[in-house]
Amino acid sequence: MKRIEAIVRPSRLGAVLQALAKWGVSGITVTETVGFGQQQGHSEVYTEIYKGTEQVAGLVPKRQLTFYVLAEQVDEVIQCLCETARTGKPGDGKIAVSDLETVVRIRTGEKGRKSL
Ligand SMILES: Nc1ncnc2c1ncn2[C@@H]1O[C@H](COP(=O)(O)OP(=O)(O)OP(=O)(O)O)[C@@H](O)[C@H]1O
Ligand SMILES: [Mg+2]
């Protein structure tokens, strides 16, 4: 199993969630966050929009999606995320994939594949 952590633009969140639901994701955690990439927040299209509202010291608002999938699903998920989160402009985000030791469904105690 793998843990996918995707950081996307707030404006793409709806489309990304819709695509992941259609793909068949079994669950997801979404977090409001801020951050910066290689432009350090300076040249992002949304910088001006957020100025004076949410943006703090070069940190740009983003949404972080965390979810668990089977290892063989990773390529498909990455493709789905790239297709739906991409605008082609700086700040589209990142996808990180990590190994996951196990997942447990608390209600039943099921572990691993069965827990997803
Ligand atoms: N190395 C990193 N580690 C942790 N989080 C990161 C990293 N790079 C980017 N992020 C997160 O992803 C968000 C979007 O990053 P961003 O898309 O600007 O990356 P980038 O490398 O600058 O690519 P681009 O040149 O396309 O903008 C950042 O605001 C930050 O929250
Ligand atoms: Mg950037």
**Residue 113 one-letter amino acid:** R
> Is the distance from the beta carbon of residue 91 to the nearest atom of ligand 1 less than 6 Å?
yes
Our answer on whether the CB atom of 94 is closer than 6 Å to any ligand 1 atom is yes
d(CA 2, CA 74): 8
Q: Which domain holds residue 94?
A: 2-115
Q: The domain spanning residue 33 has which CATH number?
A: 3.30.70.120
| Cβ contacts of 96 within 8 Å, gap of 6 or more | 4, 5, 6
Cα–Cα distance list, 97 to 1, 52, 66, 77 (Å) = 10, 34, 10, 10
User: Considering its fold, how many domains does the chain have in total?
Assistant: 1
Between 50 and 100, residue with greater pLDDT:
100
Name residue 21's amino acid. A
User: How high does pLDDT run on average in the chain?
Assistant: 89
85 lines ligand 1 (CB under 6 A): no
Across the range 69-82, mean pLDDT stands at: 98
pTM: 0.89
Q: Flag whether pLDDT at 4 surpasses 70.
A: yes
| 88 CB near ligand 1 (under 6 Å) | no
Task: Give the atom of ligand 1 at the shortest distance from the alpha carbon of 33.
Answer: 31
